[in-house]
Amino acid sequence: MKVSVIVPTYKRPSTLLQALNSLQEQTLREFEIVVVNNALDPRTDEVTRDFGNASRAPVRCIPSAPGALHEARHAGARVALGEILVFTDDDATFDPGWLQAYLEAFSGYPQMAAAGGPVHPVWEHDPPSWLRELMNAWGAKIFGPLSLIMDCYQDFRLGPDAFFYGVNMAIRRAALFEVGGFNPEAFGDHWLGDGESGLQLKLEAQGMPVGYVPGSLVFHHIPSQRMTVEYLCLRMGNQGAADIYTRFRGHVPSKARLLRLATAIVYRNGELWLNARRRKGRTDLSSLKIQLNAAKTRAQLTYVTRMLRDSSLRELLTRTDWLNESPDLASVPA
């Protein structure tokens, strides 16, 4: 077994089934599917079991600590049989050549530790005009708030220009375990770390090249509730928290340093936050940018003040291995 597909899912059995059915169309003949039930949801177990009865690929459904996405990914990695671990989300579908393209890239480039590929949107309904305008103004063929990668490169890349999102990434099992897995992202609604971007930073620090495989195409299904200013602000807030985690990961900052940083964030962004409040609900491009930037910087301040209050959060910043040494989730600050 060379390839394992790992699909964390959280109380979305209907979208999960859509993803599983799409995997049936893969041109690669031999692979396994590991569904990680991240909510201990009986309906998820039932859907996976029924699908497995007719699936051409072996399917397993395993439990994971509820709410922690990185723990769900790690639970799948621990039981997977493949040399290549391919991660995705339960709200994705796949080009038929998705897995074959990854396998060929890893076979052709034995030095490549991990890879990503394009992520195209499938809109539940036509996105509002302001969202299209915002995506066009983002400046690149990448739109982070919705984890979209719109054909950045036509050719394979290996090196600093390559990257991945969790909805479409593959990694050698040995490399994932060597660097200690994904960094944390969310514990339920509580954002802690920098997730797959942190994993990429750890790979780069170890000199493990990351590739971009243009033939490994995933379709990310975007429901109406994600086509709102509120949702995009939430995603930008998550990014703000992740930025602070990335800045301090690996050591415990002093309270004095955190106080200076909190003061600087307020000083730099106070006027921005007032402006965002005045423009709340507006969807012209200038107002959108202000609201998104305000959400990101407010979240940075919130994260810093949480570190000031909670020594357990400061200690968690020192953890570099979240895969081989599973943490006590009860210690994560709420």
In Å, what is the CA distance from 71 to each residue of 218, 238, 321?
23, 18, 12
The pLDDT of residue 187 is above 80:
no
Residue 305 CA to residue 244 CA, distance in Å, equals 11
- The pTM is what? 0.94
Among 18-32, 128-142, 273-287, 313-327, the range scoring the smallest mean pLDDT is: 313-327
Q: How far is CA 196 from CA 115, 180, 182, 184, in A?
A: 12, 12, 6, 8
The mean pLDDT value for 177-181 works out to 96
* More confident position, 235 or 326: 235
DSSP 3-state assignment of 99?
Answer: helix
pLDDT at 186: 76
Summarised one tens digit per residue, pLDDT across range 130-160 is 999 999 998 778 999 999 998 888 899 998 8
CA angle 176, 205, 178 (to 5 degrees): 25
Res 189: pLDDT: 62
Taking residues 241-247, report their average pLDDT.
94
Least confident window among 135-149, 178-192, 218-232: 178-192
The b-or-e profile of 148-179 (16+ CB within 10 A means b, else e) is bbeebeeebbbeeebbbbbbbbbbbbebbbbb
pLDDT for 188 equals 59
The more confident residue out of 190 and 239 is 239
Query: With 90 as the cut, is the pLDDT of residue 66 above it?
Result: no
179-192 mean pLDDT? 82
Rounded Cα–Cα distance for residues 158 and 97 (Å): 20
Q: What is the pLDDT of residues 83-125, one digit of tens each?
A: 999 999 999 999 999 999 999 999 999 999 999 999 999 999 9
pLDDT of residue 58 exceeding 80, the answer is yes
pLDDT band at 334 (very low <50, low <70, confident <90, very high): very low
Between 152 and 164, residue with greater pLDDT: 164
36 Cα distance to chain centroid:
15
Pairing of strands 3-9, 84-87: parallel
Position 10 scores a pLDDT of 92
pLDDT of residue 326: 56
pLDDT per position as a tens digit, 5-52: 999 999 999 999 999 999 999 999 999 999 999 988 999 999 999 999
61: tokens are: 């459904």
Mean pLDDT of the chain: 92
**185 and 138 Cβ atoms separated by less than 8 Å:** no
Pick from 140-144, 188-192, 197-201, 262-266: least confident: 188-192
Q: In the predicted model, what is the mean pLDDT of residues 257-285?
A: 97
Cα 219 from chain centroid? 15
Q: How confident is the model at residue 330 (pLDDT cuts 50, 70, 90)?
A: very low
Residue 328 has pLDDT above 90, yes or no: no
pLDDT per position as a tens digit, 165-176:
999 999 999 999
Closest of 300, 199, 204, 304 to residue 254, by C-alpha = 304
State yes or no: pLDDT of 329 exceeds 60: no
